[in-house]
Chain A
Amino acid sequence: MKLRFARSGWAVKVLTALGAIALGGCAYTSNLTNPHPSQEPVADTPERGRVLYLRDCAWCHAAEGSGTGRGPDLISGTNGAAFTDFMLSTGRMPINDPSEPTRFSSPSYNPSEIEDLVAYVASLGGDGPPIPVVDTQAGDLALGLELYQENCAACHSTTGVGGALAAGPDPFDRSLIAPALTQSTPIQIAEAMQVGPGTMPVFGRDTLASTEVDSIVRYLGHLQTPDDRGGLPLGHVGPVTEGAIGWLVGVGGALLIVRLIGTRVGEE
């Protein structure tokens, strides 16, 4: 066996090496995945928050929330009720593979389970902001636009579709994204602003008054149903998709038309 492999071509050797590395990598990452993935409902008792936490969260964040090599602590910085509620209600947590970046997805828990988990995590000692109270109707649309443009548009785009951030400069780093805000609820928006999740700055209660928060939320609500009276929005990213359509439909369409009007070589 060994002799035959040693005589095989370089391509076989390289592919085998790559395969071994891939398998090893899988084995390594599998060490990171949740050893207790469970969808079974937990009984609704006063202890539910703690039970869920110990079952699903403690393997990364430690039983008392002090953090492990796989996940940060839940006590320092802006950790608290708002942070926990944001991560759970946007489906960013729990996560099966901590080496993956967090992403917006559907929540793993129902609202009352989230409430219990939030209460338990908040009790661990973090003094971050509580779940904010947001009154969208009290916000002013024009003020919201001004504040959004000043503080948020650079990362999340003026149209709210999000954008790429500075991952790297190692070219093989995973991507970093300021997410699209098209599906965020008012509370989630306010929570994110006050807590600064991931790589987002903190726009906290000392920086923005509650009327300003309400206004930004109201403007984002408006952006979520944008005024596209011009027609198809083409992704709301501007000149890139517009140029593509200009070429494909405009120039391409016109070229098709002249092909129909003119002759080809060999025709009269």
Chain B
Amino acid sequence: MIVHRIACCCLFFCLCVVFSQQNALAHGGVVEEDDLCVIKVNYLRAHFKVYQPRATGHEQYCEDLPSASESIFVMEYQHDSLSQMPIDFRIIHDVTGKGRFARLEDVYKIADIDSATVFYQPPVIEPDVYAVNYEFIEEGDFIGIVSARDPETGKLYAAVFPFEVGFTGFGYWPIFAGLLVLIQIHYLYMSGRLKRWYGKSSTIVTGFAICLLLAPPVSFAGDVVVTYTTPDGDPQLNRMHSWILHIENESGTEVEGATVEVEGGMPEHDHGLPTKPRVTEELGGGDYKLEGMRFHMSGYWEIVVSVTTDDGTSIVIIPLRL
């Protein structure tokens, strides 16, 4: 048993070293964090993904690409500044000789970067999402370079990521990993630990679930009560209409002079209202005119009303089924 254990530990350790090295070294400015592929252009971050729609449809890649075909590189900003910066995107043949270890300094050392360039997208400000399309005509080792210039300071930020086109996968590593897991499960089973562990963890899970169930329901209503009427008749699908919001505090006093903001959406569909309704007029007596309401789907909606007075902000959620 002890031999078994030592063998497993050694194999596991080797595997961890190999995988962690691949992650650390292979990706340059692109790293995987919490299952999300992230590009770091200095301190500016964006969700990074590559598609080969003609070859593999909606399959996403973080970096290495399976074949020489049309490739779409997408950056979804996690940092607002990138949406205001001119960004350029360059793909070069790996002429640094450093392969996966290539860094920005190595790229700067290339005397004639243009002749190594296979694709260049000149600087452009993309306010929403950055995407380029390049069709690789050959397999090989490439380096991607993303630069963004801060319009105020003039400072240039860049990220470099070496990658391979015609990437053949992890070779035999998945088989090794599978084997390791099997050996480990076999060992745990034989030693009786699996059962003991399962017994313990199920108690914990059950305990947690009971705690969740016993917890008091979260109340969103603060110290104000919001009711509404619809002077144009009941809300109808796809029709713009107005609401009159009536706001009182808990003791029944009408709330006047408040700043009222309204948001809303369908929690089951992860999207908001199709419009951006606004309170356009305070009618007095705790009444506020809310214009620009429109629902474009039937189902469950939540309208979130935030009421700000000198005493602070209260949030009230109005549920609505259409």
Q: Verify that A and B bind, or say they do not.
A: no
Using CB atoms and an 8 Å cutoff, list the residues of chain B in contact with chain A. Answer: none
Using CB atoms and an 8 Å cutoff, list the residues of chain A in contact with chain B. Answer: none
